[in-house]
């Protein structure tokens, strides 16, 4: 991630470049692994990123292969934004819908076979603190719903056949704010990571906070805020989310929001 700035570090130390130059180098560093790759990637995006329909999908499936870690043909719609593309791994059959934004860093983003990321979802690692477990890893046959936000500074691992409904947030990072005499931006962050095991279903608008482990086959109700682990095959709802029953038991009262 820091190769772009490192390449100029000696020059910077000797010549003390203007602040505008430093900001430019930082910007390039956050967009691609090197200035050369930035130029190549942006050229491809400009040529192919806007082409609509099946023709555009086909052109991007072939044209983006040199800049991605691509294992088989993938479908990328027009208007998809990719940053740090060399750290993005897409397996066969992946579908990225219109307006999707992937921002990878070392540790990267990996999306398994036949998984879909629906329109305007954002998968963002943004690891500029050299956190050791940063990254987003999604299994096969998953669906990441519309307008989801997945922040992977602490590491997010999503198993096979996990479905997230619209507006879900999965946030593997949190600010420290224990000291009232200091601004929270000076107190650091926690980044423990989030694990969602296979066959889980996350209802619309749910928020999964840092450090949470959701077990296999669990169901998270719409609008829930999950601040603690959820056992396998358990339905959890509410703010903060609490287990209300096990999957397969008689359903709760009709006013408990379980679906999306």
pLDDT in tens, 65-74: 999 999 999 9
Output the pLDDT for position 213.
97
Exactly one of 71, 119, 175, 178 is catalytic; name it.
175
Domain ranges of the chain: 26-242
Distance of CA 259 to the CA centre of its chain: 23
- Is 175 a catalytic site residue? yes
Output the pLDDT for position 42.
94
Output the pLDDT for position 12.
43
Name, in order, each residue with C-beta under 8 angstroms of 117's C-beta and a sequence gap of 6 or more: 94, 95, 96, 97, 100, 102, 111, 123, 144, 148
Q: Pick from 202, 196, 226, 227: which is nearest to 214 by CA?
A: 196
Which CATH number is associated with domain 26-242? 2.160.10.10
- Helix (H) or strand (E) segment spanning residue 201: strand 201-202
Residues of the chain with pLDDT under 70: 1-17, 127-129, 250-260
Whether the Cβ atoms of residue 164 and residue 156 lie closer than 8 Å to each other: no
pTM, whole model, 2 decimals? 0.85
Output the pLDDT for position 11.
42
How far apart are the C-alpha atoms of 187 and 67, rounded to whole Å? 37
């Amino acid at each position: 991630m820091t190769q772009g700035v490192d390449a100029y570090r000696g020059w910077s130390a000797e010549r003390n470049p203007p602040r505008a130059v430093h900001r430019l180098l930082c910007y390039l560093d956050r967009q691609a692994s090197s200035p050369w790759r930035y130029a190549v990637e942006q050229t491809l995006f400009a040529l192919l990123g806007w082409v609509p329909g099946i023709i555009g999908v086909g052109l991007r499936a072939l044209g983006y292969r040199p800049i991605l870690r691509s294992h088989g043909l993938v479908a990328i719609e027009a208007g998809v934004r990719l940053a740090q593309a060399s750290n993005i791994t897409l397996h066969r059959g992946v579908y990225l819908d219109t307006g999707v934004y992937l921002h990878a860093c070392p540790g990267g983003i990996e999306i398994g076979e036949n998984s879909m990321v629906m329109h305007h979802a954002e998968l963002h690692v943004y690891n500029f603190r050299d956190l050791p477990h940063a990254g987003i890893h999604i299994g096969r046959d998953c669906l990441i719903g519309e307008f989801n936000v997945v922040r992977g500074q602490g590491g997010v691992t999503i198993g096979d056949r996990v479905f997230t409904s619209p507006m879900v947030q999965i946030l593997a990072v949190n600010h420290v704010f224990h000291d009232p005499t200091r601004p929270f931006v000076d107190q650091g962050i926690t980044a423990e990571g989030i694990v969602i095991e296979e066959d889980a279903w996350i209802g619309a608008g749910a928020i999964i906070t840092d450090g949470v482990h959701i077990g296999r086959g669990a169901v998270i109700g719409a609008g829930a805020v999950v601040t603690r682990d959820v056992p396998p095959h358990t339905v959890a709802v509410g703010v903060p989310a609490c287990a209300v029953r096990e999957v397969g038991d008689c359903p709760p009262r009709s006013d408990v929001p379980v679906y999306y």
